[in-house]
Structure 1
Amino acid sequence: MSYLFKGKLCGYLCVDCSEPLSDIIVRLYRHQPNQNVTRLAVANPKDTLAVLDAETLRGKEGSLLAEGRTDAQGAFAIEISERGYEGEAFEVDIYCGTVPHRKVGRRVAEPRQATITTIQPIWGRTDGGFVAGWNYCIPYRFWCYFRSLFDAWVICGHVTQCQTKGAIANVKVTAFDTDWIQDDDLGSAFTDASGHFRIDYTHEDFEKTPFPFISFELSGPDLYFHVEDSGGTVLLQEPSSRGRDRDRENSGPCFCVDLCVDVNPTPPFNNPLFTHVGDFDISGDISSTNGLTNKMVLGHGGPNYGFTGDLKLKGFCPKTSPVGSPDPMQYRFLYTTPTVLTQQPITGGMLTPVVVGTRLIQWDVFGTGLAYTFQDLYIQGSGATPDPTPTPVLPPGTPWGAPPPHIIVPDADGWIAVDQNGLDSGFYGPLLRFVSASVVTGGVAPGNGAGLALTTPEGGMSISIFFEAGPIGQPATFTNNLPNIFINNWTQVSELDLTEFHTVGATACSEITNSLDILYTADHELMASWGLGISSAATIPLPLPVYPSGSAPRGGIGTFHIDVSLWPSCSYLIGLTTRKSLTDGETDDSGATSQLTFCK
């Protein structure tokens, strides 16, 4: 029986700044006979963190259970298939050839391994074995010390407006080290949409002197900062002496700082952003708790609606970067599920075509000569078209008709390049159309027979959707996400039958005389409404039956009896109408009706 241990690791750089432990090896070890496993398993990880020396590593070599590498988000999934493992506690180590974001310098850093803690996983059984999860963020005191072993130094900061405390985006922050002979430029970075910035540097960046092979730096740098806008206007110019103050002098490998400037923040008109699923705003219309909508928008949806089908993911991505150099931009969407913890790109067969913009091209629509003509820009999973669009080979004077759309296909990692010839300043509105059934499967929900409870009622699933944007070929500079969206792609169960059709000698063509017993099943986890009804060309005598109906999740199941002895001879139609609380963001489920006829 296999065991799958999944999780995500990060490290704090200070109280409010962390980084994923990307591209490191996570190692799981059996415990040694002389170790108190119970005491270690209940200990706080901050008390068990330790950098391992060579002798300790040699002593653990024979105890390795399994290992795996983390992805860019620090997520890992390690299968323990070693015979003899039966779910007991194990020790979790990390092995690092380097650390995230380390700036390459002259110094060569040796690989290091550290023990984090002992884990007694809570294993859950699945069809394929057992699964357990564990997420942990290493405290900054240990993680910053560990980074320093690789000569990795970092400054995390936040720039705000001094009076309002609002975030200042797209400003350049430069860090300096105060020295007796010359100040050292440690590096620069632009703030993101939330005003945050990060500068990575090494020891050699602040031990520079005008004299080769001589260093006057005996400890950490003495920091001060300059801030300027994208046009070069100085917004903050701290004096060099600021680096001699106690809160800036001899700064450690991780330093966090809050800076403020006396300017009003520029509205982030050109910042890329994921904003809507269909017509539903991801920040206010979709509950972060259960992923359901919390209100009606533009006449569709309502409280506690889930999503289904092909979803338009809307937002904005400019043609060129609003931060730093105006390089061409790209964007992508990714997702995670409760069982897929590593972010996966939405690409290929997970897309269906959607119009994202328009551009002008020279085209002979009517056979009267070239003229500027609008051409739609599509995003879809396959079928990319050449750019520029090839012109038809036709005799002069022959109309070309409307130009075909220019089709843009995401690459294997989901990146979509914004068309630099598109109208306006970028793609605004639908950015792609996500086939949700490619992640949250569905189909025709199986019933168990009319009037009978379902053996395995089908349900949907909550997923998270992530948006990233940045200059082509460079790391993403803008990100935001929808933490929870509930998707259900199953049909409702809607079944009808009559008990009278199943008595001895009866068929579906048998005439009903006195009693009518309707067997019905209406089931869906997001049932908006359901109800039985009977119609006929004949007049049904009073009092009319009070037919069962409801508006609660999972619907209703049962048998409804009617005395039809006084009903006129005629044909009758029984209907079971159901409607789900599901929307694709623009169109709601319109409902369905199952029907059954009988004669009296």
Structure 2
Amino acid sequence: MCYLLIGNISALISDDCTEPLVDAFLRVYLPDGRHPMGAHPKKDILNGPGQLTAGQVEAKRDRLLAETRLDEKGNYMLAWEQLHLFTEPLELDICLRHMPEQADIRGMESHYHLTTTVPQWKRSGQQYVAAYAYILPVESWRQIRANYGTWIIAGTVRRLHAREGQAQLKVEAYNAGNHRLLGCARTDENGRYQLRFSKKQLTSRLMLVGERRNVSGPDIYFKVYRDKQLLWEEEAQIAAMPERKGVRPCSMINIIMQDVALKKTSGYVPGWLSNWAVSGRKSSLVSH
């Protein structure tokens, strides 16, 4: 009898925003004998994954049932043959080798135990099929990204007094410390963007191997384009705002643009936490 397990593995960036675990490896293990038949042990998904040592991974190698690579959307499909009705709990682990923006990097392999669960198998023709999805909590994903020295910033671009997001715009993030481009992304049809960068884009001081787990985030400011036309840009000083200073590996920055025709100011204006006055084509921004 063939067993087919399908599903998705992703991670939370915020309460309503996720990213898939691209190119990660999902491994399914047979039970280790500690769980009796009929038991349904489950790991609370909200507790997050537990990191495994190399010794722990090696110790369970003989129990490996199947493994596969997640696709660009975090989807997976695993199949194996089994002679009897499979009711044992399964262990699901994930193996990471790089973040999506580090496709050219290999060698930093990390392993995490996701859950121990009994899939709800349904008979379909000559096979049993079950589905299982797992979402890593934002705290866990933030720490994992920090270990790899990478960042993801997500949010929505809107105009002031408009509820709709601004679609098909290019968002660029800059490091206020050296004014270098960190990364860019396009907004989707709802005005949402996800922008990624790694410690390569930061200063050499932050790229020291010994600082890998303690890399502080950059202070950032944004520019927004439609095609090649610059629609709006911020003064670098806006990076001093609390939500822009030392951004964490998983951060949400919602951008609200408002066109103004004010004279350029030399410093902060009243209500600087929500408005920044600039001249010419520049506009004001509110970040949440």
With normalisation by structure 1, the TM-score equals 0.39
User: Residues 75-111 of structure 1: CA distance to partner in whole angstroms, max 9, x if unpaired?
Assistant: 2221232567732111111122323x22457x75512
How do 1:484-499 residues align onto structure 2 when only pairs under 5 Å count? none
- Whole-Å separation in 1 of the counterparts to 2:73 and 2:226: 31
Contact 1:48 1:115 (8 Å CA) reproduced = no
Aligned to 2:176: 178
**Secondary structure of the structure 2 residue equivalent to 1:46:** helix
1:64 aligns with 2:64: yes
How do 1:404-443 residues align onto structure 2 when only pairs under 5 Å count? none
**Secondary structure of the structure 2 residue equivalent to 1:168:** coil
CA, structure 1 residues 34+41, in 2 after alignment: closer, same or farther (shift >3 Å)?
A: closer
Deviation at 1:247, TM superposition (A): 1.9
Deviation at 1:175, TM superposition (A): 0.8
Aligned to 2:95: 95
Aligned to 1:81: 81
Match of 1:224 among 221, 231, 243: 221
Matched to 1:245, the amino acid is M
Deviation at 1:133, TM superposition (A): 1.2
Contact 2:5 2:131 (8 Å CA) reproduced = yes
- Whole-Å separation in 2 of the counterparts to 1:11 and 1:240: 31
Higher relative contact order (CA 8 A, sep 6+): 2
Deviation at 1:188, TM superposition (A): 2.2
Q: Which runs of 5+ in 2 are unaligned?
A: 206-210, 260-288
User: Residues 411-450 of structure 1: CA distance to partner in whole angstroms, max 9, x if unpaired?
Assistant: xxxxxxxxxxxxxxxxxxxxxxxxxxxxxxxxxxxxxxxx
User: Residues 294-345 of structure 1: CA distance to partner in whole angstroms, max 9, x if unpaired?
Assistant: xxxxxxxxxxxxxxxxxxxxxxxxxxxxxxxxxxxxxxxxxxxxxxxxxxxx
- Whole-Å separation in 2 of the counterparts to 1:243 and 1:88: 53
- Whole-Å separation in 1 of the counterparts to 2:4 and 2:12: 26
Matched to 1:178, the amino acid is A
Aligned to 2:28: 28
Aligned to 1:245: 241
Deviation at 1:218, TM superposition (A): 5.3
Aligned to 2:164: 166
Aligned to 1:129: 127
CA, structure 1 residues 15+168, in 2 after alignment: closer, same or farther (shift >3 Å)?
A: same
Runs of 4+ aligned residues of structure 1 deviating over 4 Å after TM superposition are 34-40, 82-85
How do 1:19-58 residues align onto structure 2 when only pairs under 5 Å count? 19-34=19-34, 41-47=41-47, 49-58=49-58
**Secondary structure of the structure 2 residue equivalent to 1:116:** strand
Deviation at 1:24, TM superposition (A): 2.5
CA, structure 1 residues 157+103, in 2 after alignment: closer, same or farther (shift >3 Å)?
A: farther
Contact 1:11 1:137 (8 Å CA) reproduced = yes
Aligned to 1:422: none
- The structure that is helix-richer by fraction is 2
Matched to 1:148, the amino acid is A
**What is the percent sequence identity of the aligned residues?**
24
Contact 1:49 1:117 (8 Å CA) reproduced = yes
- Whole-Å separation in 1 of the counterparts to 2:121 and 2:40: 19
CA, structure 1 residues 72+226, in 2 after alignment: closer, same or farther (shift >3 Å)?
A: closer
Contact 2:97 2:106 (8 Å CA) reproduced = no
Contact 1:158 1:258 (8 Å CA) reproduced = yes
1:255 aligns with 2:251: yes
**Secondary structure of the structure 2 residue equivalent to 1:262:** strand
CA, structure 1 residues 141+43, in 2 after alignment: closer, same or farther (shift >3 Å)?
A: same
Aligned to 1:149: 147
- Whole-Å separation in 2 of the counterparts to 1:196 and 1:81: 42
Match of 2:189 among 169, 189, 193: 193
Q: What is the number of equivalent residue pairs in this alignment?
A: 254
Contact 1:29 1:91 (8 Å CA) reproduced = yes
Aligned to 1:408: none
**Secondary structure of the structure 2 residue equivalent to 1:221:** coil
Contact 2:170 2:224 (8 Å CA) reproduced = yes
CA, structure 1 residues 27+135, in 2 after alignment: closer, same or farther (shift >3 Å)?
A: same
User: Residues 451-493 of structure 1: CA distance to partner in whole angstroms, max 9, x if unpaired?
Assistant: xxxxxxxxxxxxxxxxxxxxxxxxxxxxxxxxxxxxxxxxxxx
Deviation at 1:197, TM superposition (A): 1.9
CA, structure 1 residues 61+188, in 2 after alignment: closer, same or farther (shift >3 Å)?
A: same
CA, structure 1 residues 48+186, in 2 after alignment: closer, same or farther (shift >3 Å)?
A: closer
Matched to 1:185, the amino acid is L
- Whole-Å separation in 2 of the counterparts to 1:144 and 1:7: 23
CA, structure 1 residues 208+36, in 2 after alignment: closer, same or farther (shift >3 Å)?
A: farther
User: Residues 145-193 of structure 1: CA distance to partner in whole angstroms, max 9, x if unpaired?
Assistant: 22333333222121001111321123332212222xx333212223222
Aligned to 2:201: 205
RMSD: 3.0
CA, structure 1 residues 5+171, in 2 after alignment: closer, same or farther (shift >3 Å)?
A: closer
CA, structure 1 residues 127+250, in 2 after alignment: closer, same or farther (shift >3 Å)?
A: same
Matched to 1:116, the amino acid is L
Deviation at 1:240, TM superposition (A): 2.2
- Whole-Å separation in 2 of the counterparts to 1:176 and 1:42: 43
User: Residues 363-419 of structure 1: CA distance to partner in whole angstroms, max 9, x if unpaired?
Assistant: xxxxxxxxxxxxxxxxxxxxxxxxxxxxxxxxxxxxxxxxxxxxxxxxxxxxxxxxx
How do 1:559-570 residues align onto structure 2 when only pairs under 5 Å count? none
- Whole-Å separation in 2 of the counterparts to 1:125 and 1:13: 36
Aligned to 2:2: 2
Deviation at 1:116, TM superposition (A): 0.8
Contact 1:9 1:136 (8 Å CA) reproduced = yes
- Whole-Å separation in 1 of the counterparts to 2:36 and 2:182: 46
**Secondary structure of the structure 1 residue equivalent to 2:229:** coil
**Secondary structure of the structure 2 residue equivalent to 1:242:** helix
**Secondary structure of the structure 1 residue equivalent to 2:129:** strand
